[in-house]
């Protein structure tokens, strides 16, 4: 990919499409769906705002909601490594379903989100 931030390269329309696809996959995932609200519109709006700033665009999440404190905000949900992998699998599938994001940009975005997702793990896997 050429210069600019990942946000500039991907663009607001493709990012919006990615977030919508991601949450429709989350909504049909057996382990993820139960911990999310039934109506994902507000969650998707917050995620789009967060990713816009995270990828180098305008800091919409900070402007609307303040500091994200992502790890603290996720503490009410028991997030195991397995669940983080499920979240990332939905993101990978959503990236594959968004062909207007180039493979290079998709890889870079996925790598960045992998680092954040691992940071959200707050519960040991339930291995017998
Ligand atoms: C909110 C789950 C990873 C960003 C949430 C919510 C859940 C959740 C259940 C609450 C939804 C709501 O009440 O609207 C998970 C799980 C993850 C994960 C299981 C697996 C590791 C991530 C990652 C990011 C992220 C990697 C950042 C890229 C957010 C944001 C919100 C959110 C911005 C909205 C926070 C707010 O209420 O203002 N997540 N999440 N999450 N998550 Fe995650």
In this prediction, residue 2 carries a pLDDT of: 62
CA of 96 to the centre of ligand 1 (A): 21
Q: Is the CB of 74 under 6 A from ligand 1?
A: yes
Ligand 1 atom at shortest distance from the alpha carbon of 50: 33
CA of 105 to the centre of ligand 1 (A): 22
Query: What ranges do the domains of the chain cover?
Result: 6-119
Q: Is the CB of 40 under 6 A from ligand 1?
A: no
CA of 56 to the centre of ligand 1 (A): 19
CA of 74 to the centre of ligand 1 (A): 6
pLDDT digits (tens, 9 = 90+) for 55-93: 999 999 999 999 999 999 999 999 999 999 999 999 999
pLDDT at 125 over 90: no
pLDDT at 99 over 70: yes
Q: Name which residue sits closest to atom 33 of ligand 1, judged by CA.
A: 47
Dig out the tokens for 39 from the structure: 């109506």
pLDDT at 1 over 60: no
Where b means 16+ CB within 10 Å and e means fewer, 22-57 reads: bbebbeebeebeeeeeeebeeebebbbbbbbbbbeb
pLDDT digits (tens, 9 = 90+) for 27-65: 999 999 999 999 999 999 999 999 999 999 999 999 999
Q: Tell me the best of 15, 66, 70 to mutate to test the pocket of ligand 1, counting ligand atoms within 8 Å of each CB and taking the most.
A: 70
Measured between alpha carbons, how far is 71 from 77 in angstroms, rounded to an integer?
10
Is ipTM beyond 0.90?
yes
Which fold, 6-119? Globin-like (1.10.490)
Measured between alpha carbons, how far is 50 from 16 in angstroms, rounded to an integer?
12
Eight-class DSSP state of 3: S
Measured between alpha carbons, how far is 74 from 87 in angstroms, rounded to an integer?
13
Q: What is the pTM of this model?
A: 0.96
Per DSSP, the residues of 10-72 read H-HHHHHHHHHHHHHHHHT-TTTGGGS-S--HHHHHHHHHHHHHHTTS--HHHHHHS---HHH
């Amino acid at each position: 990919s050429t210069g600019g931030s990942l946000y500039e390269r991907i663009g607001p329309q493709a990012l919006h499409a990615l977030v919508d696809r991601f949450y429709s996959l989350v909504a049909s995932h057996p382990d993820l769906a139960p911990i999310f609200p039934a109506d994902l519109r507000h969650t998707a709006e917050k995620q789009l705002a967060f990713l816009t700033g995270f990828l180098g665009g305008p800091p919409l999440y900070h402007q609307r909601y303040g500091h994200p404190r992502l790890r603290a905000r996720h503490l009410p949900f028991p997030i195991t490594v397995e669940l983080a992998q499920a979240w990332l699998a939905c993101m990978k599938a959503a990236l594959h379903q968004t062909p207007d994001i180039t493979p290079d940009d998709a890889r870079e975005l996925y790598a960045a989100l992998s680092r954040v997702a691992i940071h959200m793990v707050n519960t040991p896997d339930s291995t017998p």
